[in-house]
Structure 1
Amino acid sequence: MRAERWYRAVWRWHFYAGLFCVPFVLWLSVTGGLYLFKPQIEGALYAPYRDVANGPVLPPAAIAARAVAAVPGSVLHKYVLPESPADSVQVLVGQGSEEVRVWVHPQTGAVLYQVPEEDRLMRVVFRLHGELLAGATGSALVETAACWTIVMLLTGLFLWWPRGAGRLAGVLYPRIGRGRAAFWRDIHAVTGLWISLGALFLIASGLPWANAWGDYFREVRAITGTAAGRQDWSAGSAAEAATRARADAGMRAMMSEHAEHDGMPMDHMAPAASSLDAVVASAGALHFAAPVEVSPPASDGTAWQVRSQTENRPRRDSAEIAGDGSLVGMQRFADRHWIDRAVGYGVAVHEGAWAGLANQFVNLAVLLGLVMMCVSSIVLWWRRRPATMLGAPLAMGRLQHSWGLVATVVALALAMPLFGLSLGMALVLETAIKRMSPRIRQWMGWRAAID
């Protein structure tokens, strides 16, 4: 029957999507679960550098100079406003694209701790989660797995959808006492029902970080004229490194020009170091959500940049301040393009920062559900697989074209180019194997005559 063929075909695509996605979903769930609790983890890690002063503190320019001196050859990249006057001051200094975060005692100027920015624990977890520590290649693998996970979830919902009236057992809750086979099937299906919407949201809200989809998104926005202002989410480690290198080169060029003009040696912090005190004072009066970063100008005639880097992105505001401390301009989150605001909310929810602990625990429940689905799928496959075959459901025959299916596939391929590319490659590979290798075809469960 055509309905049975359609059901069986969807089941096969669900199986193949899961076969590819399960290792990535497990990896992303574990690393994402760790990153959800970044505020608590970093709060514990850096607790020794809070509440260290008990008297008058040094001016910001002096503190920044101590940080620069602690890393030979560096220049000031960012000065982070302390949340309390008694806290140590975090200063990011760098050379080229490499940055070092330095904790400076605000009262004595002593360097309490320093670490390369990309070696910090949560930065490593961030790159493990989004790039597998493999740069653009890792990002492409993660993005492809994310796209196919969407297919896995959608086909899973189709397979789960109840086809008998009044049956809730095995749909909304698992059946207990029906044997191990029914138990694992129900755990897989019922968990998928309850977490699919949240999982789809987490995947969609994470795509702007991906290299390929992020570039695609930026190109579409440029063509449609909807790109406005600075992007407030990561474009990948390579793009971030290039941005840091350009800013560093600009600051060093300014230092060189000022040194030649004033006859000063090149070992000073920056040509506008004396302005830092006035800028920090003005930035503090803005009461942006912490942490707040103050960045020096990278070229003559430009202002200092003040940006909130709070995890809750809808609270991120920014400003430009002149070297004398006067406010040049300000941009509130509400002033940004609606697309940027939508992405900002999505990223904040994705990272568990929008609604505090409640957001973190809801996301964690979704991630634990994904892990449960992966584990149960492995158990189901292992229990049911034939000894001499991969275990994919056998094909029942050739399907007629479904324009609904075609439209859905085309829409997904247009929205997620890596999905379209990988789908095309999969179809070409499938056709080649069917024609060239009867043994592999049999192992995969393909029937040359009708599949």
Structure 2
Amino acid sequence: MNNSKSFYLSVWRWHFYAGLYTVPFLLMLAITGLMMLYSPVVEKWTNQDLYNVQQVSSTPLTFEAQKELVAQAYPNDLIKSVHALRDISESTRFQVIQDGEALSVFVDPYQGKVLGDISISDSLYSWADNTHGTFMIGDTGDKLIEIAISFTVLLVITGAYLWWPRGSTTLKESLKISCNKGRAFWKDLHSVIGIWVSIILLFFCISGLAWASVWGGSMLQAWSTFPMQQSATSVSSKLTHNDLNVKGLKQIPWGLEQAALPESANTNTPDVIGLDKIVSQSKALGFTQFQVFFPKGETGVYTASASSMSKDIENATDDRTVHFDQYTGEVIVDIGYQDYSLAAKAMAVGISLHMGQWGVLNYIVNTLFCLAVIMICITGIVMWWMRRPAGKFALSAPQQPKDLALWKHATWIILLLSILFPLGAAAMAVVIIIDRILLFIAPKISAVFN
């Protein structure tokens, strides 16, 4: 067997084993991604009586009066924030925490009544988001998904090599499906769809990993968080911007989540500034559709936030977060997209594109992408099923090269992954160790994996 053929088999074998682990996760991510893309639209359409007011008048209730209505309807619960909306035909939405769960409470500002509520924490979006991020098994699921996404990068690299035109086949011919039957058709469908969406797939991997616990939370996000201590005279030792999020919904920009919340300094002032004053000041600063988070405790602050994360705006470059002293209304910190670090800017744009926030075209592309990923997974499974020997209990992996060490070509990939994706590199090292152990001490078990 020549070196070229041997190398091809080695790459194919890596592609197969990476896909073996990754396919279930990619299917889950694509399906839940579609659910997250469309569930807010479905929720708003099926609850029009809550989202929309019956009649608009010229004298709506003040925000403070609306908040009091919510307090009367939910006397034992925490009112966390309010959405100040641009569309006057929509009801006002408050976020209320009830027994640890988050609710959207809708108020008609013209009739002066609470219309009802919808659970945020138990919504279809929340379920899909939790599954998408943790596989519903917490931190363990988060790490398993991070490994899967790291392996997806390996799949794209090895897949591009396997697809690359050889012999008399031209590049143009390789970009279209040329076979119409048998396993060759499924192989063409798999590779052509894969190569067309490969760049988008890599983009989704990187932007999705921004929230992963190791690569995102412990490395990239920690290094890229806005330095609040340098901008505010006093910051909380316990609360971060992530505490402004509610269970089942992320609303705070990625680059601020780990930043400490500033504190109000004038705690000797007897009265706090009213909500309408904060809304008025926010509008004077240029906010149009935004959310106001209420102070937590005596040193808490009002926070006005407009971000693509909360779906108040579409363009992530218009992100803005302003903190007000709850006693004087003084602006403590004013943070815009221009103040983010380079990584935080890239992630702000990347995450909003990932979530389909940049208009109809972004929505369509994300939909087609999710469907393409599902098709890639299905065609991969079909190809394996058609190739495997009938009646043999084995994974039927691609042939192991005889004259080339199976895993030595992964060395450079492991080095790259170890820098970019530590969990992925660790998982690859484990695969190599297991393969060597099975080869030498358990040949019968090893046969199942070949």
Partner of 2:420: 415
Partner of 2:279: 280
Partner of 1:40: 41
Superposition pairs for residues 2-41 of structure 1, below 5 Å?
A: 2-37=3-38, 40-41=41-42
Q: Which amino acid aligns with 2:437?
A: A
Cα distance in 2 for partners of 1:69, 1:300 equals 22
Name the Cα RMSD after superposition.
Answer: 3.5
Superposed displacement of residue 405, structure 1: 4.7
Partner of 2:236: none
SS at match of 1:278: helix
Moved more, 399-408 or 328-337: 399-408
2:114 is aligned with 1:111: yes
Cα distance in 2 for partners of 1:328, 1:17 equals 49
Superposed displacement of residue 142, structure 1: 1.7
Query: Runs of 5+ in structure 2 lacking a partner?
Result: 229-239
Cα distance in 1 for partners of 2:143, 2:218 equals 13
Partner of 2:150: 147
Partner of 2:294: 296
Alignment CA distance shift 1:227-1:424 (3 Å): farther
2:439 is aligned with 1:437: no
Moved more, 334-343 or 212-221: 212-221
The one of 383, 398, 405 equivalent to 2:386 is 383
TM-score (norm 2): 0.83
Q: Which amino acid aligns with 2:397?
A: A
Partner of 2:67: 64
SS at match of 1:77: strand
SS at match of 1:395: coil
CA deviations over 1:323-368 (Å, ceiling 9, x no partner): 45554442221222222111101111111112x1111112222222
Cα distance in 2 for partners of 1:239, 1:40 equals 15
SS at match of 2:111: coil
Tell me if structure 2 keeps the 8 A contact 1:135–1:237: no
Moved more, 319-328 or 194-203: 319-328
Tell me if structure 1 keeps the 8 A contact 2:53–2:108: no
Alignment CA distance shift 1:386-1:7 (3 Å): same
SS at match of 1:209: coil
The one of 119, 124, 128 equivalent to 1:125 is 128
Tell me if structure 2 keeps the 8 A contact 1:100–1:115: yes
2:160 is aligned with 1:171: no
Moved more, 228-237 or 401-410: 228-237
TM-score (norm 1): 0.82
Cα distance in 1 for partners of 2:175, 2:304 equals 50
Moved more, 89-98 or 378-387: 89-98
2:371 is aligned with 1:364: no
Give the structure with the larger helix fraction.
Answer: 1
2:340 is aligned with 1:336: yes
Q: Which amino acid aligns with 1:182?
A: A
Superposed displacement of residue 39, structure 1: 5.1
Cα distance in 1 for partners of 2:13, 2:420 equals 23
Cα distance in 2 for partners of 1:234, 1:372 equals 38
SS at match of 1:330: strand
Partner of 1:196: 198
Superposed displacement of residue 158, structure 1: 0.8
Query: Runs of 5+ in structure 1 lacking a partner?
Result: 263-270, 446-451
Tell me if structure 1 keeps the 8 A contact 2:102–2:246: no
Superposition pairs for residues 129-278 of structure 1, below 5 Å?
A: 129-168=132-171, 171-177=174-180, 179-218=181-220, 221=223, 227-229=226-228, 272=272, 275-278=274-277
SS at match of 1:357: helix
Moved more, 184-193 or 131-140: 131-140
